[in-house]
Amino acid sequence: MANGGATMRNQAIRRAIRATAMPLVFGVAACACVATCSAADGPRETLIANGLVNLGDAWLCPAEAEARRLFDALDPLERHYQGVQRAVDDRIKVNEKAKADLAQKRRDLKVLAEKITANDPAALGPTREQLIQSAKDLDDQIKRLKQVAKDGTRLAEFQPAREDVIRLSNARVGLTLAAAALRQRTAEMPAEYERLEKIAAVRAALRQLPQQRLGTGKDYAAEAAERLARIDRATQSNVVPVYRDDGHARVVTIVNESTPVTFSLRHSDGPTHLPHSVVTSLNLSTEDAPVVSYTVGGRKLRCRRVTLSSARVGGLLLRNVEALALPPEGEDLGAKLGRAAYASFYFDVDFSQLRMTILDGSAKDDAAKPEGKQNGDSKNVPSTGPMSRPGPRPGRRSASRSTIPLPLPSRAAC
């Protein structure tokens, strides 16, 4: 299970790296080539057989080799995230301008219509024909603007906007997982080197290579501390990208701190459930899980009740989330996050801004809190950047905003 989670996490990071579309040469690949090419020598072959990777005068353990690769990947991943963020912001700005222009054109057309109908046609003479032509031109402009301006929830349903949000969500996930993996690999390095130093064959091989040493002595997490803090502020904020599909708000979460899963948020009561494909990608064991009968849309499905160790939505980390593992015939139902899973919070969805703000509800326990919160601390998680601006508090409604209000303390699964 743990290995499966690490594999899913690495795959998500690799997808994010590929999405940067940048020619990257990472330490692991470059080092592996050097080591393989020199593997004919006895001591070198011994070191390689023990999982070490050569970099100049240093031999890296697998944890440091991976940490080095992640360290080199942070910059392009962050630049990619910022670029996609700008694309989403630009789309919102273009849409807002188009809506403003559309409103102004409609006002102008109304004024023209009043002039045309309020005056004596004979008195206006040629001017009337000019006014009618201007009105026709305005009407044509309005028709064109209506194709561009997306009012209410239409922007969040607009396919290009949805694709932008999905790219942004994937970039955030890749950056989040890369930062977490860098910290983890750096923390693993001392124990790995301590283990390797106890292997007689490794010590003997290094004695035969006097100019070579074990490890670089570099603390990657400490060296990238400022960058990691900036990444945390951007990706662990209380504002997350959102789009709309099939009448539901959809957000990308990180399940079990390893695998990105896109959930639809439930408007009403109902369980969290996962399609069979997601259950498989999470490597969830369902053989011994309790069997649950679930009826939806006139269909009766035989499901398994499982518990997700965590589900991360921006800076909100939900723990011990109960879910139904759907059978293969329920694949079309997709992944849905039940209200009970986030019972202590409000999700304030603003489709016109393609974002969802996580707001405190009446959290009475500490099982699910945005990271960085302490008991009695009601402040939001520190956040920066366009996608980190908190939206208005619930109560200020518009056609494009919906708040999914809670709590449902009796059904809290976290």
352-401 pLDDT, tens per residue?
Answer: 999 999 998 754 444 444 444 433 333 333 333 444 444 444 444 444 65
Mean pLDDT, rounded, for 111-121: 77
Burial class (CB in 10 A: 0-12, 13-18, 19+), 146: middle
Residue of 70, 94, 88, 230 whose CA lies nearest to 168: 88
Q: State residue 297's pLDDT score.
A: 87
C-beta separation of 256 from 310 below 8 A: yes
Q: State residue 132's pLDDT score.
A: 85
- 183: Cβ contacts below 8 Å, ≥ 6 apart: 221, 228
pLDDT band at 111 (very low <50, low <70, confident <90, very high): confident
Q: Give the span between the Cα atoms of 16 and 77, in whole angstroms.
A: 7
Mean pLDDT, rounded, for 35-62: 82
Q: State residue 17's pLDDT score.
A: 63
Residue of 360, 368, 86, 64 whose CA lies nearest to 216: 64
Least confident of 33-47, 93-107, 128-142: 33-47
Q: Give the span between the Cα atoms of 363 and 359, in whole angstroms.
A: 10
> Does residue 200 surpass a pLDDT of 90?
yes
3-state secondary structure of 336: strand
Label residue 56 left, alpha or beta by phi (over 0 means left) and psi (-120 to 50 means alpha). Answer: left
> Does residue 122 surpass a pLDDT of 90?
no
> Does residue 240 surpass a pLDDT of 90?
yes
Mean pLDDT, the chain, as a whole number?
Answer: 81
More confident residue, 140 or 409: 140
Q: State residue 400's pLDDT score.
A: 60
Q: What is the DSSP letter of 343?
A: T
For tokens 């080591």, name the residue. 35
Q: State residue 6's pLDDT score.
A: 62
3-state secondary structure of 187: helix
> Does residue 157 surpass a pLDDT of 70?
yes
Give tens-digit pLDDT for 278-313: 999 999 989 999 999 999 989 999 999 999 999 999
Q: State residue 115's pLDDT score.
A: 80
Mean pLDDT, rounded, for 148-159: 89
